[in-house]
Amino acid sequence: MTDEVSTAGAYVTAGAEFTRDDRYIATRITADGRDGYPVEAGRYRLVVSRACPWASRAVIVRRLLGLEDALSMAVAGPTHDRRSWTFDLDPGGVDPVLGIPRLQDAYFARFPGYPRGITVPAIVDIATGQVVTNDYAQMTLDLETEWTALHRPGAPDLYPEAMRAEIDAVSRDVFRDVNNGVYRCGFAGSQQAYDSAYRRLFARLDWLSERLAGQRYLVGDTITEADVRLFTTLVRFDSVYHGHFKANRSKLTEMPVLWAYARDLFQTPGFGDTVDFEDIKRHYYVVHEDINPTRIVPQGPDLRGWLDPHGREELGGRPFGDGVPPGPVPEPDRVPVEHTAAAMRG
């Protein structure tokens, strides 16, 4: 990446293919504390933006596993400058727990002058004010496997040991061609780079459609980490990626299997109730000035279809396996009703 902050962001470099900077802070929070950070209820704060697909993975997993009381959550605003995500949604523009106006402050507290992206999601040690990790891919896996003592009763197993090899393989393909593929389209610096990314994106979406035509979820008969990772791109597809990133062979609503699959997940507790379409659109269309120099945020698309029946129950499957759905969203974590529900009523 060429930017200094990011959701996964980048800037167009003329003549170049988009390349993601994958050098994240690899410190882990584990049950045995081997990196110096043991799992401990109330010790850490998860910093996210609902606009960011990578952060949204952590939001969904935290909710599905019932970690709200153990791991508090700070929500940054949907826009940022080149320096840092900011807590402009909070009174006074300061996170009430960490006491900082910018996520950058937590990075600098541990790594003065930190030279890479000030990214979300990030987990911060509350007592020291220092960032622990921003390794979003490992973060959700650790929430699923290292934080088990703090999971809610009836929490699903999102990363079952017997299926990990397949989940990892599917997730790698989805990341390369879909999660990151839409960015490779949107930030392509040449026609050749765009064409290549476009072909790979829709070839993979066609492959996913074939895979999901006969099974309800990506791996096995329950929701897993792989479904979380795909969902966060699909839920942004028509609002952002189709137009803003020129991923425009088909809208999600024009891909019947994937559209039904996405609606199925959206209507599952823990998925749609974490989505903020308003923040999503505002982030992409305002922050990416090189793609959208006017910074005009579109009014559409019509969101009402997300609540239509999906019919995927006919494929069987048990969304939460032997577990049960999470309860209502805690008040502090609720998406503003005017950002999603009102829009879906037309």
Question: Has 52 been annotated as catalytic?
Answer: yes
| DSSP 3-state of 184 | helix
- HSE of 161 in the Cβ direction (CA atoms, 13 Å)? 2
Catalytic residue among 183, 198, 261, 284: 183
Catalytic residue among 52, 136, 159, 284: 52
The candidate with the shortest Cα–Cα distance to 135, out of 69, 42, 54, is: 54
Question: Has 183 been annotated as catalytic?
Answer: yes
Dmax over Cα atoms in the chain, in whole Å?
Answer: 55
Q: Check if the beta carbon of residue 291 is closer than 8 Å to that of residue 186.
A: yes
Beta strands in the chain (DSSP E): 5-6, 44-48, 72-75, 118-119, 122-125, 130-133
**Six-digit token string for 190:** 């040449």
Q: How far apart are CA 285 and CA 213, in angstroms?
A: 33
Query: Does residue 269 have a cis bond before it (omega within 30 degrees)?
Result: no
**Six-digit token string for 186:** 């949107």
Q: Check if the beta carbon of residue 140 is closer than 8 Å to that of residue 62.
A: no
Q: How far apart are CA 174 and CA 205, in angstroms?
A: 9
Within 10 A of 136 (CB to CB), how many other CB atoms are there?
21
Q: Check if the beta carbon of residue 139 is closer than 8 Å to that of residue 29.
A: no
**Six-digit token string for 345:** 């009523």
Q: Which residues contact 140 (CB under 8 A, 6 or more apart)?
A: 57, 58, 61, 158, 225, 228
Catalytic residues: 52, 183
